[in-house]
Structure 1
Amino acid sequence: MCRKKVFIGLWAGLVWVSLVGVGLWAQSPAKVASPNLVNNPSFEQIGNCPGRYGGIEEAEGWISLGFTPDLFHTCATDPRLGVPHNYFGTLYPAEGEGYAGLLLYHERSPLEYIATNLAPALEKGEKYEVSLRISWARVYSNYACNNLGILFTNDIGILQSGQDIVPDIRVDKINTDDKVWVTIAKTIVADEDYSFVVIGNFSGKEKTKKYQFQRTGYPGAYYYIDDIQVRRVVDPTDSDNFIKILGQVKDAQSQAPLAARIDYVLYDLNYRAFEETKPETGLFEFSNMQRTEAFYLEVKAEGYFSQRLRIANTDQAIVQADIALQPVAVGQSVVWPDIHFATGQSELRKSSGPSLKMPGQLLTRTFRLSD
């Protein structure tokens, strides 16, 4: 039997989860998940593969607000910035193909900060579940320290203002986990509308607790960061947060109803639910589905080309989605949509996944090969 060790701690409203051997998303079952407001939360989408230190801005949407935070990725052209092995240590990503690295303490050098915009912005008075994963780069670090902070702001120049900064989340515990990812999670209520999130040590070197592990090497505390999540907490008792989806699946040529499977998909949450129509009516219904910025309906029927529909958020309590499928015919052209590549590269992105399944679905669900 494979056993995994789980360590869970709670202090000052923060949840600290360390899972040996596998990543863990800590989430209360009483809360309904919603889309992540952080673009590129796992540093997968990049402009160029890392080839130099201080390259965090190669990760789409991310910028440096102090010194030279680093980007690590499986495609790195410099092995010192590779994944899982790099100059700072050895660690597989918590999610995806990459992660960031930054100084939270150093005896002499400036500290490092990374930032990105939120889409949409936080709304005043709304409740949000905030989390990230962190791991200590022990090979490179003489020190381990506390004071990892997460700040929501509208002014990304705030670090140069000279004013005291109190982050929305501050971790007082010194993290010395170097072989696993530790999840830091906290629920907050936004006191203003905020457009940016900044990650770093906002407490200053003098107020930072540190532990020195070795006397030689780099006189700092360096940490890997991955999987940043900011999600609005949806009240499951509020009917305004949910919608009903009604529809009919029919043959595009004869207009006859079809027996079909319809999947309701939230790709950002890796969530999927399905319904099946009855042949005599072709009707389907999804009740009490979470209202989100957008969702997808994937529709499949034997002998027909499948469809994937994106439906944007609406104020309507009931969404009507009638779908006409084209029958498969010998010699008919097949369009392979939504294939996405990394910028300037031949590497396929994860968003291509649903379309990449289409040829297999056609072969396994539709065609019968003759002897």
Structure 2
Amino acid sequence: MFLRIHPNLVLIAFLGVLPVFVYSQNLISNPGFETYNECPRHLGNLHQDVADWTTPTSGTTDYFHMCSFHMGTPENFNGVQRTVEGEGYAGFYAYAPDDYREYLQVPLRSTLKAGAVYRLSFYVSLAERSDYAIRDFGILFSSEPLEIDTKKNITKAKRFAYAENEYNYFETPADDFLSDTSDWSRIEARFEAEGTERYLILGNFRTNRQTRTTKTGRSSNKGAYYYIDKVALLEQKPELAIAHASSERQKEGFQLDSLQVFRSLLFEFDTYSLSHPGREELQSLYEFLRQDPDLQLQLAGHTDGKGTVDYNRTLSEKRCLAVAKYLENLGIPSGRIQWEGYGSSRPIASNETEVGRSQNRRVEFLIRKTRHLPPDSEK
């Protein structure tokens, strides 16, 4: 399943030189919810207990820290979950009866730069007592903080009632539900800033009817409650280096359960041909996959906004198929590869500029390990 957006960036080949990207400091203060004003003792008190973070609505977002008995980690009222790192994390209802919602809001260390590319990432884990899981999280950047007297979802009408505020909103769609209660799922998005982003708000902005959900088999009638930890927002800065993306992959390796993008698989407009650097990167991926036959690969193809919906979906499928066939020819069995084309439905940059359209012409991939039951648990 795809747990997060991880769109690619524009890579410009010039005389054999490819840009290598580095990241600046984290623009999120208190990213791991470690610093607190007071050790949490009560539900719904994040806005007072934890430093830097607030709630943009009347929803009662929670704060957990190892210092607390009632609001502690790893055990608390909604289940058991260790932290990603450190001793604290936050918790909120992303889906609940009667459109009840909880959100988190944090000021950025600095306003984002117009046209610059940033990477946002965070970890979520579904609480054990949740009876639903969702697929999509909303990301809202605003120029001014929100303070809305509601316990329901933040609608467009409520946002734009603040006439002085400017927004940049997108979602982190997934191809499966975020239902893991035993471990953390990493969500990642890369996007082009508009230059007005000063505050970050995380949560589910859809109504219950619009939210894609699945039942977990529990009957708590609570909804979908998620722990969240380790939030990072980094500016991506290009630096020219004499290196191919495939060699960078070889040094860094491939991550499991993390949606990634082919860095050097550059698609020109209206094509699905594999570039030479792209083939080198696929060779690196093949070497990684062949070492463990239990590894499964999932591909997601995308296009820019030019063309009809049906045409773009077909083109994105052809891009996936080109990647899949190349790996199959190298020796990866077809049964280990799944793919789906999304056309232009999931842009991560503006389709009004060539730079943005280049970013949208991408193939993402996810590597997962097949989980086998131990012999004594098989029926």
Relative to the length of structure 1, the TM-score reads 0.54
Please show how residues 145-224 of structure 1 align to structure 2 within 5 Å. Answer: 145-157=134-146, 159=154, 161-162=157-158, 167-172=169-174, 173-214=176-217, 216-224=219-227
Displacement of 1:130 after TM fit?
A: 0.8
Q: Say what the alpha-carbon RMSD is for the aligned residues.
A: 2.5
C-alpha distance after superposition, 1:225-251 (max 9, x if no partner): 01110000011229xxxxxxxxxxxxx
Please state whether the residue corresponding to 1:130 is helix, strand or coil: strand
Q: Relative to structure 1, is the Cα distance of residues 117 and 211 closer, same or farther in structure 2, using a 3 angstrom cutoff?
A: same
Provide the residue aligned with 1:51 in structure 2. Answer: 41
- Asked whether the 8 Å contact 1:167–1:202 carries over to 2, the reply is no
Match of 1:71 among 63, 75, 82: 63
Is contact 1:127–1:233 with CA below 8 Å preserved after alignment?
Answer: yes
Output aligned runs, 1:99-110, within 5 Å: 99-108=89-98, 110=100
- Distance in 2 (alpha carbons) for counterparts of 1:14 and 1:134: 19
Out of 88, 103, 107, which is 1:98 matched to? 88
Residue of structure 2 equivalent to 1:131? 121
Task: Describe the shift of the 1:163–1:141 C-alpha distance in structure 2 as closer, same or farther (beyond 3 A).
Answer: same
Cα distance in 1 for partners of 2:226, 2:91 equals: 6
Residue equivalent to 1:62: 53
CA 1:31/1:98 → structure 2, altered by over 3 Å: closer, same or farther? same
Aligned partner (choices 94, 104, 115) of residue 114 of structure 1 = 104
- One-letter code aligned to 2:131: N
Deviations 1:237-279 (A, max 9, x none): 29xxxxxxxxxxxxxxxxxxxxxxxxxxxxxxxxxxxxxxxxx
Distance 1:11 1:113 in 2: 19
Amino acid at match of 2:184: W
Q: How much has 1:109 moved relative to structure 2?
A: 5.6
Structure 2 CA distance for aligned equivalents of residues 71 and 194 of structure 1: 25
Over alpha carbons, which structure has the higher Rg? 1
TM-score, L = length of structure 2:
0.53
Give, in angstroms, the shift of residue 107 of structure 1: 1.7
CA contact (8 A) 1:153 1:195 kept: yes
Unpaired runs of at least 5, structure 2: 9-18, 149-153, 161-166, 242-379
**2:143 counterpart letter in structure 1:** N
Structure 1: which 5+ runs fail to align?
Answer: 1-7, 16-28, 239-371
Listed as ranges, the matches of 1:284-295 within 5 Å are none
Question: Residues of 1 paired with 2:168 and 2:107: CA distance?
Answer: 19
For the 8 Å contact 1:130–1:230, the answer to whether it is kept is yes
Equivalent residues of 2:99, 2:208 under 8 A apart? no
Instruction: Give the deviation of 1:33 after TM superposition.
Output: 2.4
- Confirm or deny: 8 A CA contact 1:147 1:202 kept in the other structure: no
Structure showing the higher strand proportion among its residues: 1
Structure 1 distance, partners of 2:182, 2:210, is 27
SS at match of 1:133: strand
Provide Cα deviations, 1:15-50, integer angstroms capped at 9, x if missing partner.
Answer: 9xxxxxxxxxxxxx9421210000000000000001
**1:302-350 alpha-carbon deviations (Å, 9 max, x no partner):** xxxxxxxxxxxxxxxxxxxxxxxxxxxxxxxxxxxxxxxxxxxxxxxxx
Aligned CA distance change for structure 1 residues 51 and 109 (closer, same or farther; 3 Å)? farther
Larger deviation, residues 44-53 vs 91-100: 91-100
For residues 37-95 of structure 1, what are the alpha-carbon distances to aligned partners after superposition, in whole Å with 9 as ceiling and x for unaligned? 0000000000000100012121101001231010010001x42x110111111111112
SS at match of 2:67: coil
CA distance in 2, matches of 1:65, 1:49: 21
Pair 1:114–1:163, CA change in 2 (3 A): closer
Task: Report deviation, 1:215.
Answer: 5.4
More helix per residue: 2
Point out 4+ residue stretches in structure 1 off by more than 6 angstroms.
Answer: none
